């Protein structure tokens, strides 16, 4: 009599178990201690990805629950419920995975078309977008108060500028339409950073520990 083949031990015997939906993992993706563990932020086509790499203790301290860690050395895949993420609050359902790596674990969050924006992005990406917005706006408005002469007065006062009106020269101002376009450009630049800036780990062989991270434009790398 032929010996019956054994069922692989890693396969659930019951259909209800095999088709059960993975447990939803709730994570506060705006938590600074978690964002400081981020090693990559990138775009994959129209989707955004954030990757965190650290020890179990560091990820737990960053708010990643124990249930997210793989139990058998494989890759754990699960839905991620946002507890706090800009423009999404606790209403967004993302996709997550966790795998064991040398020295710890790697958590990947697939945001899909949802932009991580300022609360979910790496602190450096957020700071770059914010400072650029503040600096450009400083040239357009005075203390957030529309002033059509302010850009030209800033220009005249800047030591790098060749525009130095003589005493008694007419006071110059820009049109309201041009003022609005400049303001729109400032906010476009702000959003451009979040939409197109990627964070990757440097591959420079000369880079010393700790590993260096690099901000790049998303078109500098090819995505499969």
**pLDDT above 50 for 78:** yes
Backbone angles phi, psi at 199, to 5 degrees: -115, 125
pLDDT for position 188: 96
**pLDDT above 70 for 224:** no
Closest CA to 98 of 53, 68, 56, 131: 68
Residue 93 pLDDT class (50, 70, 90 cuts) = confident
pLDDT for position 222: 47
> What is the C-alpha to C-alpha distance for residues 209 and 217, in angstroms, rounded to an integer?
24
Residue ranges per domain, the chain? 22-119, 122-224
Structure-model confidence comparison of residues 211 and 174, the more confident one = 174
The single residue listed with the structure tokens 């699960």 is 78
> What is the C-alpha to C-alpha distance for residues 29 and 10, in angstroms, rounded to an integer?
32
Residue 124 pLDDT class (50, 70, 90 cuts) = very high
pLDDT for position 49: 95
Distances in whole angstroms, Cα of residue 131 to Cα of each of 65, 86, 138, 145, 181: 33, 18, 10, 18, 19
Residue-wise pLDDT tens digits, 133-186: 999 999 998 876 778 999 999 999 999 999 999 999 998 999 999 999 999 999
Q: Which residues pair with 162 in a beta bridge?
A: none
117 C-beta neighbours (distance < 10 Å), count = 20
Can you give the pTM of this predicted structure? 0.78
Structure-model confidence comparison of residues 25 and 88, the more confident one = 25
What percentage of the chain exceeds 90 in pLDDT?
A: 62
Quote the distance between the C-alpha of residue 54 and its chain's center.
Answer: 17
Structure-model confidence comparison of residues 101 and 13, the more confident one = 101
pLDDT for position 76: 94
For 55-154, strand residue ranges (E) read 76-82, 93-101, 104-112
**pLDDT above 70 for 13:** no
Say which DSSP state 171 is in.
Answer: P
Residues 6+ apart with CB under 8 A from 75: 97, 98, 99
Q: Are 99 and 75 in contact (CB under 8 A)?
A: yes
The single residue listed with the structure tokens 């609005």 is 180
């Amino acid at each position: 009599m032929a010996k019956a083949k054994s069922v692989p031990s890693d396969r659930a015997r019951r259909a209800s178990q095999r088709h059960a939906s993975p447990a939803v993992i709730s994570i506060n993706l705006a938590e600074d201690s978690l964002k400081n563990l981020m090693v990559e932020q990138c775009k994959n086509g129209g989707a955004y990805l954030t990757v965190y790499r650290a020890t179990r203790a560091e990820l737990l301290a960053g708010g990643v629950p124990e249930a997210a860690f793989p139990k058998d050395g494989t890759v754990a895949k699960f839905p991620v419920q946002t507890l706090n993420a800009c423009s999404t609050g606790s209403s967004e359902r993302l996709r997550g995975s966790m795998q064991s790596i040398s020295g710890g674990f790697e958590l990947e969050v697939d945001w899909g078309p949802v932009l991580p924006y300022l609360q979910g992005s790496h602190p450096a990406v957020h700071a770059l977008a914010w400072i650029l917005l503040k600096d450009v706006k400083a040239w357009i408005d005075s203390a957030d108060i529309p002033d059509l002469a302010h850009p030209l007065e800033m220009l005249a006062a800047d030591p790098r500028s060749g525009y130095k009106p003589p005493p008694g020269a007419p006071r110059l101002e820009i049109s309201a339409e041009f003022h609005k376009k400049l303001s729109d450009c400032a906010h476009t630049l702000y959003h451009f950073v979040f939409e197109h800036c990627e964070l990757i780990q440097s591959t420079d062989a000369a880079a010393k520990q700790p590993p260096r991270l690099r901000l790049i434009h998303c078109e500098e790398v090819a995505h499969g």
